[in-house]
Amino acid sequence: MRARDFVDDFGNVLTRLVAPEGRLTVSTLFDVADSGRPDEVAPGALEDPIDALPDDVLGFLHGSRYCEADLLADFAWSEFAKVPAGWARVQAIVGFVHGHIAFDYKKADSRRTAFGAFTDRVGVCRDFAHLAVALCRAMNIPARYCTGYLGDIGVEPSGPMDFSAWFQVWLGGRWYTCDARHNRPRIGRVLIATGRDATDVAISTSFGAANLEGFEVCTDEIFPEVAPEARRVVSVA
């Protein structure tokens, strides 16, 4: 087996793995320290003029494989143009997407795009993120897709854990976290990678014959009395 890390065009660290034929199990276990505070809320954050955007942010204004900003532009401008620009407009988009899509694990579809989620009105966390990203870009607000972990910390458990998706918007010279799936600030969000959409930040991309037999994701708050050997392991088989 051969493995090496590299950095992609968006600054994410990826691992390139060449595995022999046969069963492969990948497991990870790690501790992440954060502030313990919920996602930041910034009512005063303003939109930056396009001519003032950094070069590496401009690309997040364009449509992409799963975020067809052009197909949603007419709706976006008719729905959100009268909302004050900046944080209020972004939150209006987040609120719309949260109420427009019904969350349903059984309706997950890796081929569904933002426009598909808009018309189907059903999906999983990636669909919420894709639609919100596309609507923000249609309004000339830079937005990027995020993948990571989001455990049930500070909220009631909502079923088996999984990887999660949300998005970030560029306002006032920096990125802010937004989550149309939950539509509330959350604690314990662990960012893995950012990109234009899910294509850029897939948990794994395989080439050749491969069948996923199962996976388990566990994201728990660590308490001092829990020994490392007692913690659960994240594995993908």
Rg of the chain taking only CA atoms, in angstroms: 19
Average pLDDT, the chain: 92
Question: Are 178 and 132 within 8 A, CB to CB?
Answer: yes
For residues 76 and 169, what is the distance between their CA atoms, to the nearest angstrom? 16
Query: Which residue, chain included where needed, has tokens 């690309």?
Result: 59
pLDDT at 227: 59
pLDDT digits (tens, 9 = 90+) for 50-65: 999 999 999 999 999 9
| Residue 232: per-residue pLDDT | 52
pLDDT for position 237: 41
What pLDDT does 45 receive? 98
Report the CATH architecture of 34-203. Answer: Roll (3.10)
Distance between start and end Cα atoms, the chain? 16
Give the pLDDT score at 104: 95
The tokens describing 193, both together, are 């990678």
Judge whether 183 and 95 are in contact, CB under 8 Å: yes
| Higher per-residue pLDDT: 216 or 97 | 97
Judged against a pLDDT cut of 80, whether residue 34 lies above it is answered with: yes
Name which of 83, 48, 193, 197 is nearest 134 in CA terms: 197
**Residue 108 token pair:** 């997950």
34 vs 97, residue with greater confidence: 97
**Structural domain boundaries in the chain:** 34-203
Neighbour-count burial of 35, counting CB atoms closer than 10 A to its CB (0-12 exposed, 13-18 middle, 19+ buried): exposed
Percent above pLDDT 70 for the chain: 94
Residue 192 CA neighbour count, 13 Å, CB half = 17
